[in-house]
Amino acid sequence: MPSDRDARAFGKTFEPILLFHPEEPFFPIDPKWYLERCALWRAVPKLDDNANWGEPPRMLFPRLPQLAKNKIAALNSETAGGAFTWLGDPNNDLGVGTAPVGEAPPRPEERFLEFVGWEPIVPAPNEVTATSQNRHAALNPADYTAPLMDSRPWYYVEFLTNEDLRQFTSTRSPNGLDLSRLVASNDRLRMPQALLYHLFYPVHQEALEGCEGTPEGPSFGTYAGEWACVAVLIDSASQPRFIGLTSRNVGDPNIARREEPRVAMTVSKFSDVQTVGTHPKIFVARGTHGHYLTAGAHKLTPFSGGIDLSTGSCGAVEGLDDVIAGDVVIPGEPPELTPTWVIIAKALLGPVGLIWADTEISGDHYGSADQLAAPTVPSTDETGVTAIGKIIRPDGLAFPETAQATSVINWGVNPFQAPAPDLRKYDFVVDRSTQVWWIPRQQTPDSSPVEGRGWFGRWGPRVTNDPHGRRAGMRCPDYLLMFLEGVAIAMNK
C-alpha cells in the first residue's frame, strides 16, 4: 500500500479546481465531520415505510434512531470512554460488513444517516410519528445554514500504486474487460497509478425538467447525502493520462438495479482538460453536482438506458405498479436485458467512454410505457457560463475565472485536530484500515479482513413512498472499479 506521504503529495499535485454555478447553495464538506453529527437509523422492509424505521419495538411512536445525533464515533480511537459509539463496533450491528460491492448477500435491513431531518422542518424536523409523512428530506438550503456553520471545504484523496491496481484488477473482468491487461499491466500506460478525490455534498437537488409547476416535479430526485468523484490516472513518470468525472444517471431505475443506481462516470483523456499547471478545471452543475470539463448546458444520456416511467407523470407516480391495480402482467415481449456494465462510446475527439454499473431487469411488469409518456424537455445539467459562483481552488492558485467569481476559497485541506473539549482528528487521506465509513473493498482473496470492512448505509435519510430510492440518501459507491473500466474501454479502442 502507498504511504500517506505519497497520497498527500500526489493529492496536492493534482488537486482539482471546482467552479460552481452562481445559484449553487451546497459545496463539498468533510464526510467524517458530517457523520459525527448525524443520527443513525435502522430500517427494515418495506424500507420506504416510516413504520419500519427506528429501534424495536416498532409498534410504538415516535420512532427513535439507533444512535442519537452527535453520538457516532467515526474512528475507534475517538469513543471518548463510551460517550460515543464507534461505527465499526463489533458489538453493535450498525451496518458495517466485509463483502465487496457486488459480492454481498442481500441485506434485508438498512442503516441511514439523518443530519437535518425531514420536511416540514417546523415544528418537528426529526420526528417519525404516526402522522408524520417523511416524504422528503429537508429541502430548503436555509435549514442547513446553522448545521453546516463549522464545516469546511473538503475532499478525501485515495492513492493507489501500480501494485495496488494489479492486485485489485487480478480477479476483475466486468463485461468481459480484462482490467489487469487493459489497464494495470498495460505497457502503453507505463505502470499506471490512480488518484480518486472523493467529494461529499450535503444535498443533491434534482428537479424534473418540464415539470416545475407540479407538486413532485421540483423535488423529483432531491435527496440528502450525495457522493461524487474526480479520478485521475497517472503513469510512472507522474504524467496524467485520463480523468474520470461523475454525474447523474437519468435512465430507467428498473434496469439500473445495483447498490447505487443514480451516479455514473465519464472518462476522458487528460489532454482534453483545461488545466492550471497540473490542476484540472472542473465545472460543477447547479444542484446535481455533475462534473464537467466545459461550462454551459450538458444534455444527459441515460447511462443505464430505458425511460424512467415516472417522468411521464412529472413524478406523481413511481412506476407501472402505481397506475395498474392488482398483480397484472402487461402483454408484450420482455425488454432486452442490458449487459452487466452498460457502455456508451463517444466520438474519438470527445470523452472516451461512459461507465455504468451492475444492471438487471427486475419486477413483475413488462411492456411499453404508453400509459406514461416521457416529458418533452430533455434532462440537462447547467454549469456557470458568463458568471461563476464560488470557486474552490488549490491554495492561492491564480487563473482568469477568479475575477468573475462571487467568491474564491482555498481548499486548505490539511490534517488538523479540533480544539478542546472535542479533540477529534481530521485528515484527507483514505485509510480503509481505520475509516470504516467507506464501502468495503478487498483487493485480493487474501486481503486483511480489517481493511475489507466498510459501511453499506445511506448518507441521508430514507423517505416514504420511494420504491426506487430516488429521494433516499445515497450510498457511497466504489468509484475505483467504475474508473478503471472507463480507462479499459478507452485502451480497448
**First-residue to last-residue Cα distance in the chain:** 31
Question: 156: part of which helix (H) or strand (E)?
Answer: strand 156-160
Residue type present at position 470: R
pLDDT band at 319 (very low <50, low <70, confident <90, very high): low
Stronger pLDDT, 16 or 440, i.e. the higher one: 16
pTM for the model: 0.89
pLDDT for the residue numbered 195? 97
pLDDT per residue as tens digits for the range 73-96:
999 999 998 999 999 999 999 999
pLDDT per residue as tens digits for the range 156-181:
999 999 999 999 998 888 888 999 99
Q: How far apart are CA 203 and CA 144, in angstroms?
A: 9
pLDDT for the residue numbered 453? 84
Q: How far apart are CA 347 and CA 490, in angstroms?
A: 11
Q: How far apart are CA 191 and CA 239, in angstroms?
A: 11
Residue with cell 435549514: 143
Q: In degrees to the nearest 10, what's the CA dihedral of 266, 267, 269, 274?
A: 40
Using alpha carbons, list the distances in angstroms from residue 66 to 63, 111, 215, 404, 476. Answer: 10, 9, 32, 46, 20
Residue with cell 425538467: 209
Q: Which of 249, 137, 153 is nearest to 203 (CA)?
A: 137
For residue 408, what is its C-alpha cell?
474564491
For residue 481, what is its C-alpha cell?
472499479
pLDDT per residue as tens digits for the range 25-60:
999 999 999 999 999 999 999 999 999 999 877 778
For residue 140, what is its C-alpha cell?
430548503
Residue type present at position 19: L
Q: Cis omega before residue 421 (within 30°)?
A: yes
Q: At what angle do helices 162-169 and 479-491 cross, to 10 degrees?
A: 90
Q: Poorest-confidence range of 136-150, 282-296, 342-356, 459-473? A: 342-356
Question: 297: part of which helix (H) or strand (E)?
Answer: strand 297-299
**Residue-wise DSSP of 125-172:** TT---SS----SB---GGGGTTTTTT-----EEEEE-HHHHHHHHTT-
Q: How far apart are CA 353 and CA 486, in angstroms?
A: 6
Burial label for 361, CB within 10 Å (0-12, 13-18, 19+), is middle
Buried b (16+ CB within 10 A) or exposed e, 279-318: bbbbbbbbbbbbbbbebeebebbbbbbbbbbbbbbbbbbb
Averaged pLDDT, 331-359: 36
Q: Is the pLDDT of residue 1 over 70?
A: no
Residue with cell 440518501: 473
Q: How far apart are CA 47 and CA 72, in angstroms?
A: 22
pLDDT per residue as tens digits for the range 364-406:
222 333 344 445 577 899 999 888 999 999 999 999 999 999 9
For residue 477, what is its C-alpha cell?
459507491
Q: What strands, in cross-sheet order, belong to the sheet with 240-248? A: 156-160, 193-204, 223-234, 240-248, 263-269, 353-355, 343-344
Strand pairing category for 85-86 and 343-344: unpaired
Q: Which domain holds residue 123?
A: 4-491
Task: Identify whether the C-beta of residue 100 lies closer than 8 Å to the C-beta of residue 445.
Answer: no
Write the CB contacts of 212 (distance below 8 Å, at least 6 apart in sequence): 218
Number of domains making up the chain: 1
pLDDT per residue as tens digits for the range 253-300:
766 555 688 899 999 999 999 999 999 999 999 999 999 999 999 998
For the chain, the average pLDDT equals: 84
Burial label for 81, CB within 10 Å (0-12, 13-18, 19+), is exposed
Q: How far apart are CA 2 and CA 457, in angstroms?
A: 27
Q: What are phi and psi of 40, to 5 degrees?
A: -110, 125
For residue 128, what is its C-alpha cell?
417519525
